[in-house]
Amino acid sequence: MKKRFIAGAVCPRCSEMDTIVNYRIGEKNYRECVSCGFKDEIRLQSSPAEIPTRVNERRRQEEIEAPVKILDPSSGKQNKKDNKNRH
């Protein structure tokens, strides 16, 4: 079991700063104050989902959309004239 001090952590019981250690036993995480002996289990939370914004929504749309090829309007007119002359 490897105990690590948590920099800047304040004990909820004695309010001393930099006296909290964090360690793991099995699958459970614990914190303990080396000054007053306070001890409790830490329940880790999963990371929250990314909040949709106009920036990340645009990125998703770009991944879905296919590129569009823009044609020169003058080249389309020439093709129509060429087709008329051929018939």
Residue 21 resides in a domain: yes
- Residue 47 is encoded by which pair of tokens? 């990371």
Whether the CB-CB separation of 2 and 12 falls below 8 Å is answered with no
Residue 64 resides in a domain: no
Residue 12 resides in a domain: yes
- Laid out side by side, the sheet with 20-25 consists of 4-5, 20-25, 28-33, 39-42
Residue 30 resides in a domain: yes
Number of domains into which the chain is organized: 1
* Entry pTM: 0.49
Residue 80 resides in a domain: no
Residues in the chain: 87
- The residue segments making up the domain with residue 37 are 1-44
Residue 26 resides in a domain: yes
Chain segment 34-79, per-residue pLDDT in tens: 999 999 998 877 777 778 777 766 655 555 666 777 888 776 655 5
Q: What is the DSSP string of 4-61?
A: EE-TT-B-TTT--BS-EEEEEETTEEEEEETTT--EEEE-PPPPPPPPP-HHHHHHHH
